[in-house]
Amino acid sequence: MTSIRADLGEYLKEQRHSAKLSLRQLGEAAGVSNPYLSQIERGLKKPSAEILQSLAKGLRISAESLYVRAGILDEQEATQVEVKAAILGDLGLNERQKRVLLDIYESFCSENDRTPADAAPPAAPRQRATTKAASTKPTATKKATAKAATKTTAKKSTAKKTSTARTTRKPTT
């Protein structure tokens, strides 16, 4: 009995118990004979991917989790399969959107496969200093400061005109 078979068998048994199903009930739901199912749970037989899929349907769990336990898929592959299934099963997306999301997801996955996850990110490219561009193109904060200064100056000049007009008037007698 290998550890993978034993692990798979224990996992299936736990899932069956949590679903409150007998060997016979799971066998009927999955289309697998009781003796064969018992042998799988005891780690004596290694089921095919098709049998695992049937058992997953009977237990109402993901087939990918059983594939990982059986050593058919590694966890990363199983996660990718689940993500792709979730995208394809999303009713809020049209077919074009699903295809675009899948393409982006697959490109990210292949990019991560090429570079190790623990590698340092590449250094940012050095930018040339452009003093002319910096002085001729004001930033948003510079623009806001300039507008505020213009408003303040306009208010002061209006206030001066008003006060000058009041002081230069001659009282009428």
pLDDT at 32: 94
pLDDT at 6: 79
- What pTM, to 2 d.p., does this model score? 0.49
Contact 149, 138 (CB under 8 A): no
pLDDT at 170: 59
pLDDT at 1: 46
pLDDT at 134: 45
Q: At what angle do helices 75-89 and 63-70 cross, to 10 degrees?
A: 170
Residues in the chain, how many? 173
pLDDT at 28: 94
- Residue ranges of the chain whose pLDDT lies below 50: 1, 131-137
Contact 98, 87 (CB under 8 A): yes
DSSP per residue over 3-19, as a string? HHHHHHHHHHHHHHHHT
pLDDT at 20: 94
Q: Could you tell me the sign of the dihedral formed by the alpha carbons of 142, 152, 154, 157, in that order? A: negative
> By 3-state DSSP, what share of the chain in percent is helix, strand and coil, each rounded to 5?
70, 0, 30
**Residue whose C-alpha is closest to residue 48's, from 23, 30, 28:** 30
